[in-house]
A and B are shown apart, each in its own frame.
Chain A
Amino acid sequence: MSNTDLKVKVWRGSEQGEFVEYLVPRNPNQTVLDVVTYIQRKLDPTLSYRFACRVGMCGSCAMTVNGVARWTCRTHVSKIVEGDSLEIAPLNNLPVIKDLATDMREFFNKWKGAVGFFKGSQSRHDDFAKVEPQSEERQLANAGIECIGCGVCYASCEVVEARPNYLGPAALNRAWTLTNDVRDVQQLDRIRAVAGDAGCHACHTQGSCTERCPKGIEPTASIAGLKRLVAKAAIRGSKWGKL
Chain B
Amino acid sequence: MNSAILQAKLWYAQRISAMILGICVAVHLIIIFYAIRGGLTAQEILGRTQGSLTFALFYEIFVLACFVHAPIGIANILQETFPKGRLAVPLSLVLAILILLLGSTAVFGLFTGGAI
Contacts and interface: CB of A to CB of B under 8 A. Distances in A.
Contacts of A159: 80
Interface string B38-66: 00000000000000000000000000000
B8 A201 contact: yes
A197 interface: yes
A231 interface: yes
B4 A195 contact: yes
A199 B7 contact: yes
A127 to B, nearest CB: 36
Q: Is the interface of B mostly helix, strand, loop or mixed?
A: helix
Nearest to B16: A231
Nearest to B5: A234
Q: Is the interface of A mostly helix, strand, loop or mixed?
A: helix
Contact of A195 (B5, B76, B81, B83): B5
A62 B28 CA distance: 49
Interface residues of B, number: 15
Contacts of A230: 4, 8
B30 interface: no
Contact of A243 (B5, B80, B81): B5
B5 to A, nearest CB: 5
Given A159-B80, A162-B80, A162-B81, A196 B11 contact: no
B11 A201 contact: yes
A231 B10 CA distance: 9
A164 B4 CA distance: 17
A199 B83 contact: no
B1 interface: yes
Contacts of B4: 192, 195-196, 199, 230, 234, 243
Contact of A197 (B1, B3, B9, B81): B3
B83 A231 contact: no
A243 B83 CA distance: 26
A50 interface: no
Contacts of B9: 231, 234-235
19 contacts: A159-B80, A163-B80, A192-B1, A192-B4, A195-B4, A195-B7, A195-B8, A197-B3, A197-B79, A199-B4, A201-B7, A201-B8, A201-B10, A234-B4, A234-B5, A234-B9, A234-B12, A235-B12, A243-B4
Interface of A: 159, 162-164, 192, 195-197, 199, 201, 204, 227, 230-231, 233-235, 243
